[in-house]
């Protein structure tokens, strides 16, 4: 195994593009190192990205959005007051990943690229309308988060490409988001169902919404019909019931040892209602 420590993303891409074997990128390492120790993967080239300038930075963009470096840990994300104020749902999703020790290493980008349909940080990013910067042999491009997962353990990234930043849009006024999951235990478990809701209000009326579901399909998914169910409403009981019905209809889960398809379908609707209530309260000025 060849271990590399490039100083730029362009150098990292050149190494990855030139590799004819198994390549893995290292940011936090909480997925890839476990996989290596378990014998699930043995990279021919392990490319450590942590020495690239800016990968540990959280910075505000010119339009008041946020740019998050690919090696920013969950702990660092949770300690950032500005990001936590603007996007509490994104932050709370990442804060559910693993133990306190894991939080010191795990990253948004690693959680995304691991390709798990149950990844806790991904629904919040999808609901937020986040994007990623991807650097590859042909330069850098931006892609919506929901376009990255391709199925369990797989992404749409091409040979030689690497995510170089996560980009959150400006929060703007009167907006709120939230992420909830159902797990069998109280902590340190994998989501049976996850749901993120992001919305904006004008007075008491919801004018914009995005709903994302995790662990109920081969990838984290957007549920546009669920969002439509609450746009134009004041999130009354009828709207919440319509939201729950649409979220459950969007779910196409499997039955496994953590839950039946029927149970997951039902819980998707329940969590959508609960997350919407929290996001709505936040949009109207409630604390995180």
Per residue in 222-252, pLDDT tens?
A: 999 999 999 999 999 999 999 999 999 999 9
Question: What is the pLDDT averaged over residues 94-103?
Answer: 91
- Mean pLDDT score of the chain: 96
Q: Is the pLDDT of residue 275 over 70?
A: yes
Q: Is the pLDDT of residue 126 over 70?
A: yes
Neighbours of 84 (CB within 10 A): 16
Q: Is the pLDDT of residue 102 over 80?
A: yes
Q: Give residue 184's pLDDT.
A: 87
Question: What is the pLDDT averaged over residues 46-73?
Answer: 97
100 versus 219: the higher-pLDDT residue is: 219
Please give the helix or strand (H or E) that residue 268 lies within, else none: helix 261-283
Q: Give residue 186's pLDDT.
A: 74
Q: Is the pLDDT of residue 288 over 70?
A: no
* pLDDT class of 53 with cuts at 50, 70, 90: very high
How far apart CA 106 and CA 110 sit, in angstroms, is 7
How far apart CA 288 and CA 286 sit, in angstroms, is 7
pTM, to two decimals: 0.95
Q: Give residue 287's pLDDT.
A: 73
Residue 97 C-beta-side C-alpha neighbours within 13 Å: 33
Please give the helix or strand (H or E) that residue 125 lies within, else none: helix 121-128
User: Do residues 196 and 127 lie in contact, with contact meaning Cβ atoms separated by under 8 Å?
Assistant: yes
Helix 261-283 × helix 237-250 angle, to 10°: 140
Q: Is the pLDDT of residue 193 over 90?
A: yes
- Residue % of the chain over a pLDDT of 90: 91
- Residue % of the chain over a pLDDT of 70: 100
């Amino acid at each position: 195994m060849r271990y590399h420590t490039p100083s730029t993303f362009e150098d990292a891409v050149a190494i990855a593009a030139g590799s004819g074997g198994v390549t893995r990128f290292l940011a936090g390492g909480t997925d890839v190192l476990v996989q290596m120790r378990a014998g699930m993967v043995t990279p021919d080239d392990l490319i450590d990205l942590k020495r690239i300038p800016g990968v540990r930075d959280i910075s505000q963009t010119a339009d008041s959005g946020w740019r998050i470096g690919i090696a920013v840990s969950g702990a660092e994300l949770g300690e950032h007051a500005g990001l936590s104020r603007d996007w509490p749902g994104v932050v709370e999703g990442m804060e559910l990943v693993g133990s306190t020790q894991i939080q010191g290493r795990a990253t948004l980008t690693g959680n995304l690229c691991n390709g798990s349909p149950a990844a806790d940080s991904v629904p919040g990013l999808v609901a937020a309308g986040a994007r990623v910067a991807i650097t590859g042999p042909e330069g850098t491009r931006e892609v919506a988060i929901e376009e990255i997962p391709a199925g369990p353990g797989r992404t749409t990234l091409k040979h030689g490409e690497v995510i170089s930043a996560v980009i959150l849009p400006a929060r703007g006024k009167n907006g709120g988001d939230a992420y909830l999951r159902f797990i069998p235990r109280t902590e340190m478990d994998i989501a049976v169902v996850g749901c993120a809701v992001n919305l904006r209000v004008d007075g008491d009326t919801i004018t914009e919404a995005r709903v994302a579901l995790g662990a109920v399909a081969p990838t984290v998914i957007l549920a546009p019909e669920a969002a439509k169910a609450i746009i134009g409403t004041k999130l009354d009981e009828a709207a919440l019931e319509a939201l729950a019905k649409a979220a459950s209809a969007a779910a196409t889960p499997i039955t496994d040892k953590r839950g039946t398809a029927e149970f997951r379908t039902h819980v998707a609707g329940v969590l959508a209602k609960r997350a919407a209530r929290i996001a709505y309260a936040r949009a109207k000025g409630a604390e995180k």
